[in-house]
Structure 1
């Protein structure tokens, strides 16, 4: 894949210059940890108590790095995962170029997205499919929370000791899965807050009209999101910069493109700041920019987590399916749905 190959080459060169290991990731380890930890630490009281602990925040922070740590598994593993970290849009919000899909007109299925790109002569490996990774992660979290709700309610009401013990064990398994799945969602949401993961200008401005004379250095991407963030950004500053929750009028297929377009809009400001020498430790402007983008990612993860929790109360889960609301109200027995009727 052209984008990933270029990023790997650039980061290897950049790391050699900085004397640090090469890492191909948005924000690097430090930034991804901050997004996950800040989001969890900001969750409101309506979320389950197991999530609102220092341990859960640390766990999600560590697991936020996992999609980068699993790279290099071979094919088809890498093909289906490496392109999930980005979507390269032109300055008008079209995938790669004017012939590509608009971010505001994404089809429902990724397979339809692939087909539309192919029809336009665009390779999905070059385009990326980050919006689908975020949407998929959110939907998985809704299912996780729905299962947890059922198990938690059933455990509290069950009078049979054997069944109650099983519900408890399965609830604990689900809590571990929720932390893992939140970590994965955190990673992709964090990727989406990094402007260079939303733009064709992802590592230097590239071979496009460049009237402002922006850099074409292949070290631009990696040096910003990795070592610079590690040296200049603090978790408490990210938390302080997080915008207020936006939880009304939620529509997943509108929310995700809007989020990615907001990041794309920061691409030119990034390059202007880079040209002005802002990304050095002695210039507060660079740290402020990075902090704001990490805070945007943390706030989006916080909001998606709350929205997933709320949505989980309205669905059915298990097989044969039971309604979460009925189990929580005590009007449905979920035993067969949870353990399996066979």
Structure 2
């Protein structure tokens, strides 16, 4: 309880302070507190943002790299707001359940937040999720931050936007059957987004193309939703196929008492053999989704900057800051050309 109260006190400081060092102090504190569940897992969210920085054009990359550690750690802050401080407003931003809206295909959904608010009441939106519409709002805020030259706001909003774009590429965040509860596959959510990346992520290739301008971010956001929604059925079906003719002991790790082993967040451990079977059946699906999320994050950051009039980001940092980071940037660019990211520690969930 005391840890929660300390966290709440730090959050109050965060909300009222406009100084980035204080925000960094809060972030360090929040990340020392275990969450109940990080969408995509902290491992993946952090690497999406890190790789997206390296995919930016040089005119943006230097500024973003100067703050790479902040943007990497900030990638999990939206989940910390959900589970560490129980921010009720945060929960609905991370998912959408298209089936629950009874509108038919995703293509028929209201495109803008204004239209959604006209079509649905607040309770319906809160219950069924607002992820694509919140991405729209975040893009608007980030564009304004670029226009106003607000360094701390740019970094905070860019880091958050990367998180929500990551969620948009996690297929189970776009379906009512978000944890396989409708198909007797409970636990698949954390299995797909947490255990698999932690087990096999060392071999993922995070080298993606350079960021491109998005002519219609609204249309692109809904295209992402459609692709993710379609992918959800595939990952659920493939896992169901792996379960055939297997005992629980073959699927789940058991503890000393013979019960299914769980991590500190209550998520089940799957056996290494079963995880490997599912990983192979998916044929790099997890890696593809993380790469797509990386591309989208870089594209949306770049698009917001272009729409803001391409402000000079070099003015937001001292020459000393930029000079001190040049060596690290060169090293990370060499690594990313090989598909690798610099090694950094993420608290394991499995």
TM bin, normalised by shorter chain, reads 0.5 to 0.7
Q: Does 1:136 align with 2:137?
A: yes
Q: Deviations over 1:160-213 (max 9, x none)?
A: xxxxxxxxxxxxxx333322111110110010000000112211161xxxxxxx
State the partner residue of 2:190.
Answer: 222
Q: Does 1:308 align with 2:304?
A: yes
State the partner residue of 2:48.
Answer: 35
Q: How does 1:170-185 map to 2 (within 5 A)?
A: 174-185=150-161
Distance 1:115 1:279 in 2: 46
Larger radius of gyration: 1
Q: Does 1:84 align with 2:87?
A: no
Distance 1:99 1:64 in 2: 32
Q: State the 1:103 CA deviation.
A: 4.8
Partner secondary structure for residue 296 of structure 1 = helix
Q: State the 1:274 CA deviation.
A: 1.4
The number of residues matched between the two structures is: 249
State the partner residue of 2:270.
Answer: none
Distance 1:113 1:182 in 2: 24
Q: CA RMSD in A?
A: 3.0
Q: Does 1:23 align with 2:41?
A: no
State the partner residue of 1:113.
Answer: 116
Residue pair 1:192, 1:198 contacting (<8 A) in 2 also: yes
Partner secondary structure for residue 280 of structure 1 = helix
Q: Deviations over 1:254-310 (max 9, x none)?
A: 121111111112112211321243961364444711111111111100000111111
Alignment partner of 1:231 out of 191, 195, 199: 199
Q: Which runs of 5+ in 2 are unaligned?
A: 1-33, 243-272, 316-350
Q: State the 1:65 CA deviation.
A: 0.3
Alignment partner of 1:247 out of 201, 210, 213: 213
TM-score (norm 2): 0.63
Q: Does 1:61 align with 2:62?
A: no
Q: State the 1:25 CA deviation.
A: 3.0
State the partner residue of 1:281.
Answer: 276
Q: State the 1:138 CA deviation.
A: 1.2
TM-score (norm 1): 0.64
Alignment partner of 1:293 out of 286, 289, 292: 289
Q: State the 1:126 CA deviation.
A: 2.5
State the partner residue of 2:6.
Answer: none
Residue pair 1:280, 1:286 contacting (<8 A) in 2 also: no
Q: Does 1:260 align with 2:225?
A: yes
Q: State the 1:70 CA deviation.
A: 1.3
Q: State the 1:100 CA deviation.
A: 6.7
Q: Which runs of 5+ in 1 are unaligned?
A: 1-20, 91-95, 149-173, 207-214, 315-323, 329-342
Residue pair 1:51, 1:57 contacting (<8 A) in 2 also: yes
Residue pair 1:279, 1:285 contacting (<8 A) in 2 also: no
Partner secondary structure for residue 26 of structure 1 = coil
Residue pair 1:35, 1:298 contacting (<8 A) in 2 also: yes
